[in-house]
Amino acid sequence: MNTDKLSVRLETVAKYVPFGARVADIGSDHAYLPSYLAKNGRISFGIAGEVAKGPFQSAEKNVMAEGLSDIISVRMGDGLEVIQPGDADCITIAGMGGSLIADILDKGKEKLATVRRLVLQPNINAIAIRQWLIDNEWELISEEIIEEDNKIYEILAAEKGDALKPYRDVPFETGILVGPFLLQRKEAPFTKKWLLEKKNWKRIYEQLESAAPSAETEEKKQEVVKKINLIEEVLDNEESEWS
Ligand code: SAM
């Protein structure tokens, strides 16, 4: 991956950045995403935000080497603290856990006043982001699920709006866990992901079965069974090499 050729994962994130946007990429690492967008004339301004010194320095180095310093500002800081109100109309946060992404958005809520689109790519725990979007009145407008190098990624795009709209045509508990749009499409990476999760929960259940009985163990077992049942319903009891 470099500033000319992104991974499929980051290219999918890039696809949801509106043409001409002022984008802030939080946790930008090498600044590949904003650099790629700037080189292709897709953004009018970019911020590459980084909390860690090493990635910040490599973002600075890349942006300078590409001659993009007029368009991209590389800033060191925690989450949305690198942006001032009005700096950005689109925020991308990719390659972190869903809880961390939700936390970054929550801590920087006041910076979101002028932001019109969020493009978020959690590596795990996308449910934490879907919950945050609902709690903060952001409407999920699109979801994608892709497989690259044997890993499965979800990409979520949201805009201010009717946060519950995507959940009206699906069972809420299932929709928030697996994604309301992804649930309706059930593409191959989706099926693979949830068969793997089910297998994992079955393993956890077996471990709990052999643990010393207690009220806590029983409660955990019930939670796990609930999740397994939910996924079995989603997958219509589909079996495969991953089940
Ligand atoms: N966004 C790039 C991508 O998707 O390929 C890089 C992902 S990398 C795994 C995660 C980056 O986020 C790291 O460089 C890390 O330093 C940065 N990061 C983690 N927490 C952060 C925070 N609170 N604020 C800014 N950057 C953060």
Does 216 share its domain with 140? no
Among 168, 200, 224, residue at a domain's last position: 168
Does 55 share its domain with 96? yes
Q: What is the mean pLDDT of the chain?
A: 95
Does 118 share its domain with 197? no
137: left (phi over 0), alpha (psi -120 to 50) or beta: left
Is 161 a member of any domain?
A: yes
CA distance 14 to 155: 10
Q: For a ligand 1 pocket test, name from 37, 51, 92, 154 the mutation site with the most ligand atoms within 8 angstroms of its C-beta.
A: 51
Contacts of 115 (CB under 8 A, 6+ apart): 88, 89, 90, 91
Domain containing 115 — which CATH number?
A: 3.40.50.150
Residue 13 CA, closest ligand 1 atom number: 4
Does 39 share its domain with 147? yes
Does 149 share its domain with 204? no
Say yes or no: CB of residue 104 within 6 Å of ligand 1: yes
Q: How far is the CA of 60 from the centre of ligand 1 (A)?
A: 15
The structure tokens listed for 26 are 């939080």
Q: Quick one: pLDDT band at residue 238, thresholds 50, 70, 90?
A: low
Residue 100 phi/psi, 5° resolution? Answer: -65, -40
Does 203 share its domain with 103? no
Say yes or no: CB of residue 26 within 6 Å of ligand 1: yes
* pLDDT score at 5: 86
Does 160 share its domain with 84? yes
Does 80 share its domain with 162? yes
What is the tally of structural domains in the chain?
2
Is 150 a member of any domain?
A: yes
Q: Report if pTM > 0.85.
A: yes
Full residue range of the structural domain in which residue 206 is found: 189-234
Does 157 share its domain with 195? no
Say yes or no: CB of residue 106 within 6 Å of ligand 1: no
* pLDDT score at 190: 98
Q: How far is CA 196 from CA 18, 202, 215, in A?
A: 34, 10, 28
* pLDDT score at 242: 43
Is 240 a member of any domain?
A: no
Does 110 share its domain with 69? yes
Residue 93 CA, closest ligand 1 atom number: 1
Is 184 a member of any domain?
A: no
Q: For a ligand 1 pocket test, name from 29, 58, 105 the mutation site with the most ligand atoms within 8 angstroms of its C-beta.
A: 29
Among 168, 202, 226, residue at a domain's last position: 168
Say yes or no: CB of residue 52 within 6 Å of ligand 1: yes
Q: Quick one: pLDDT band at residue 140, thresholds 50, 70, 90?
A: very high
Q: How far is the CA of 178 from the centre of ligand 1 (A)?
A: 24
Is 67 a member of any domain?
A: yes
Q: For residue range 57-75, list pLDDT tens digits in order.
A: 999 999 999 999 999 999 9
* pLDDT score at 77: 98
The structure tokens listed for 81 are 């603290």
Say yes or no: CB of residue 55 within 6 Å of ligand 1: yes
Q: How far is CA 215 from CA 47, 160, 219, in A?
A: 50, 42, 6
Does 137 share its domain with 195? no
Say if residue 87's pLDDT is above 50. yes
Average pLDDT over residues 180-189: 97
CA distance 216 to 32: 46
Say if residue 32's pLDDT is above 70. yes
Is 100 a member of any domain?
A: yes
Is 162 a member of any domain?
A: yes
Does 18 share its domain with 126? yes
